[in-house]
Amino acid sequence: MSSLHFIEKTKPVMVPGGIFFVSRVKSGFHELVKLKFNEQVKYNPFCDETQSLYDTDFFDNASTSKMKMLYDIIVTPIALQHLNNIANILYSDLKSTPMILNSRMWFQSYSKNDTHPWHTHTDCMFSSVYYINKPASSPNTSFKYMNSDVFSVDVSEGDILTFPSLYPHCSKPYSKPYSNDLCANSPQNLAIEATSLKSIIAFNTNFELLDPREIILNKKSWYETVCDIHH
């Protein structure tokens, strides 16, 4: 799948203290990801004093995640193309070739009033959020930088947002579009439940600069080398 073009465009977004990146996944590929993703999401609630989630595989072993095949076969090539575009923006004037080192992927799904508190990600340069399901009523990811006001970046379903991992971020409570005229457990509201989850796939990334001679000696493009590493 690496010869395909999954991304419509990648653009830098100026924010307090730095720069974020947003890519738009082509609709046909995103609809495939969304279809396969939604087939696997089930009600498997996680809740503690600070957060609540409808379903997640964050605490699962990466090799046994129910999303493993989706991650490996479909989402990883999309993510690598997105990150390749970012690398071209960041390192275009250097004579070294950046290699992408990704952590495992994980997903989170949010139902009514679910939330994820302020946190940062460690041992990585960038963190990314791929918005699989994002109803219009669901909040954007919130960010904070030093003494700045809380801010967010305008994203839609099918976007991938990448940001420096030092930025504190959170997901505010999601007020789902229930019909107030109906019982919460009515067939109509249960149908809304099944189709209006907010769901994301997340991953962390480091860029490592390679000696250009490694690529020349291998006689492979940078993208082919990265794909070999990830498969």
Q: Where are the domains of the chain?
A: 7-230
**C-alpha span between 175 and 86 (Å, rounded):** 33
Q: CA-CA distances (angstroms) from residue 46 to 15, 114, 193?
A: 32, 10, 17
**C-alpha span between 172 and 105 (Å, rounded):** 22
Please tell me the predicted confidence (pLDDT) of residue 220. 43
CA atoms within 13 A on the CB side of 52: 9
Which residue in 215, 180, 178, 183 sits closest to 197, CA to CA?
A: 178
Which residue in 41, 87, 64 sits closest to 193, CA to CA?
A: 41
Output the six-digit token pair for 113: 């009033």
* Residue that has been written with the tokens 């653009």 in this structure: 11
Question: Interior CA angle at 154 toward 153 and 158, to 5°?
Answer: 110
pLDDT (tens digit per residue) in 143-189: 999 988 999 999 999 999 999 999 999 999 887 654 444 444 455 55
Please tell me the predicted confidence (pLDDT) of residue 192. 53
- 0.95 exceeded by the pTM? no
Please tell me the predicted confidence (pLDDT) of residue 228. 47
Extract the residue ranges of the chain whose pLDDT is less than 70. Answer: 1-3, 95, 176-195, 211-231
* CATH class of the domain comprising 7-230: mainly beta
Contact 161, 21 (CB under 8 A): yes
Contact 128, 203 (CB under 8 A): yes
**C-alpha span between 34 and 37 (Å, rounded):** 5
